Structures are given as structure tokens and as C-alpha cells.
Homo-oligomer: A and B are copies of this chain.
Amino acid sequence: MFMILAATVGTTAMAESTRALLVIHGGAGTILKKNMTAETEKSYRDALENSLRHGFDVLKKGGTSLSAVETAIKGMEDSPLFNAGKGSVFTHDGRNEMDASIMNGKDKAAGAVAGLTIVKNPISAARAVMEKSPHVMMTGRGADLFATQQGLEIADPSYFWTERRWKDLQRELMEEAKGKGSTENRSWDTTLSEHKFGTVGAVAVDQSGNIAAGTSTGGMTNKRFGRVGDSPIIGAGNYADNESCAVSGTGHGEFFIRYTVAHDIAALMKYKGLSVREAAREVVQKTLKNAGGEGGVIAIDRKGNFAMEFNSEGMYRGWIGPDGVPHVAIYGGD
């Protein structure tokens, strides 16, 4: 049923019956081969491939793009490698506060959570808000409470402690103590950008031709004041509409919010007739880049055309299509 088709990374158009396709990202930033051991690189590649395989299993069995997106993201949330779920970065106060959102292109239903502290899989909490409440967005303790009442898996805060992220925070705090001022104001320090702005996301089209998008993050290392980035903001870090595309973003969230990145890509398709690749390139390489906003997006349309566009050094990313073979890449030249 799933034929092997010749597919080019970046653009894939398939016949009606075989267009199920999943694209994921695990964050964009200063990701350079010279800073990566072979072992570390392999662990990232393995994690991306696992996420793709599990998400694609859902599509192969006739599941929805929404479920595929949730499954793929849960895989990355459960890995300590990515800044989401288990691997979330720490706030200034040494806590983990996670944000996520999900959107269904079929009916434009959406759900979002911000500031979760005890939910193992924030993407599932976002889906519960969408499906089990009349609301789109819940925040803070209220969102934790709702997820608990919905029977989602709860994790002790210690579950989210990882040595690597803890060291990231300590390094930031030491930099502050040295008198450099709040590291928040150095948020453009490129040596930190990968750790500071990591996010995971997925977009998919299912066998029925419906698309969906999801995004999940631990936010920014050393964040304060209940800062929320673009990941839980519908239209900024996440968007899905069957009439245009499904988008998940990663990068310096403040720019993604101000430039309504995800919805802008959809609007360029819907109102100007651009393809998903043209629209993603326009927003990431022109609008965002001109504004000084580093990051990237994955985007897909109903026909399975997709883009993995970024203006940073690298972006953890991958896709899997009809042949069921996962394709992953990390650096700019990949």
C-alpha cells in the first residue's frame, strides 16, 4: 500500500493514497559539527529517527495527523536530548516550566498550555485542552490542575532534572554574577543559542489529507517573570489550517511572536498563492532574518509538500514518507 517513491528532501508531492508524511524538528540554533562528538551526534540522530518511526506508525495504521504529531513529539519530550519535557531547561529559580500547543488543520481546533511543572508530556496536555475543554489556552497551576484532572501522566519535578540543563543554568548564573548583567539581555549570545532556544515540533498529513501541527518546549534557560515564548502561541510558533499549511517553529520566540511567523507563512500561501516552500523561505530567510530573528520552521501542506527552513547554523530535523524510511539531518549543509 505504501509504495516507495522517489522523494527529494524539501519537496515531496505524492499520489492521493500515499501522501501520509511526517516532518519533525528538535530545535534550531548554533549547532556545529565541530562542537559535536560522533557519539552525541549519533544519539541525536537515533532519537530523531525513533520519533519519526513512532509517529509514522500512527499514520501507516490510518491514524490522524493529530495523533502522529502528538506521538512524534512525545518521543522527543521523553528524551533528555531536546529542550522539551524530560530535557527541559531550567528557569532562573531552578524550576522547569514547559509550554506546548497543538492544532488540527481539519477544523482549526487548537489547544495550548504554558508554565506546566508536573506534566510528563506537555503536548498531551495541549491536546486535552483542545479536546476536553471549551478553551484554547491554559496557564500555570491551573493548567497543571487541568492536566491532572484529565488523568494525564504526572511526573515529580525531579523527573525533569538533568545534569546538562542544570549546568547550563549554573553557567548562566555565574556569568550574571561576574557582572555581565542579566543573561536575558544577552539572549543573542550565539554560543548559548542552541540551549537557550531549543524546541521540538512536528507537522504531518494523514491518509485523509488532513494536516496538524504541534510544538513543545522548556523555554529559555534562566528565564524569569513567567516568560512565555512562541511555542504555546497559536499563529506564532504553531498553526494548522487545511486550506494552507501546518507549521511548527523553533528559535528566538520573541521574534516569532512579533512577526506571527506560523500564521504569516499560512497567509502567504492562502492570499498570495505561494507554495509552502516559498512561503517558509520568505518568512524565515527574509522577514525573520532582516529583523534579526534566528530560528527555523517545518511546514507541510495537504498534498505532502513540505519545507524544513532555518536561518541558523543548524536545525535538528527529519521526515518520513511513504517508504517508511526516516531521513534525518542536523547541520546546515546536510
Contact = CB atoms under 8 A, between A and B. Distances in A.
Interface in A211-247: 224-229, 233-236, 239
A326 to B, nearest CB: 32
B257 A234 contact: yes
A185 B138 CA distance: 15
Contact of A235 (B115, B146, B235): B235
Interface residues of A, number: 46
A234 B233 contact: yes
Interface stretch (A49-57, A72-80, A152-160, A263-271): A263-271
A141 to B, nearest CB: 7
Nearest to A92: B142
Interface stretch (A18-26, A128-136, A311-319): A128-136
B271 A258 contact: no
B139 A185 contact: no
Contacts of A272: 271-272
B234 A140 contact: no
Contacts of A254: 134-136
Contacts of A145: 225
A328 B171 CA distance: 56
A284 interface: no
A226 B267 contact: no
A126 interface: no
Nearest to A145: B225
Contacts of A271: 267-268, 271-272
Contacts of A110: 257-258
A308 interface: no
B227 A184 contact: no
Nearest to A252: B134
Contacts of A228: 114, 137-139
A262 to B, nearest CB: 9
A259 interface: yes
A193 B109 CA distance: 21
A45 B18 CA distance: 60
Contacts of A114: 114, 139, 228
A110 B291 CA distance: 14
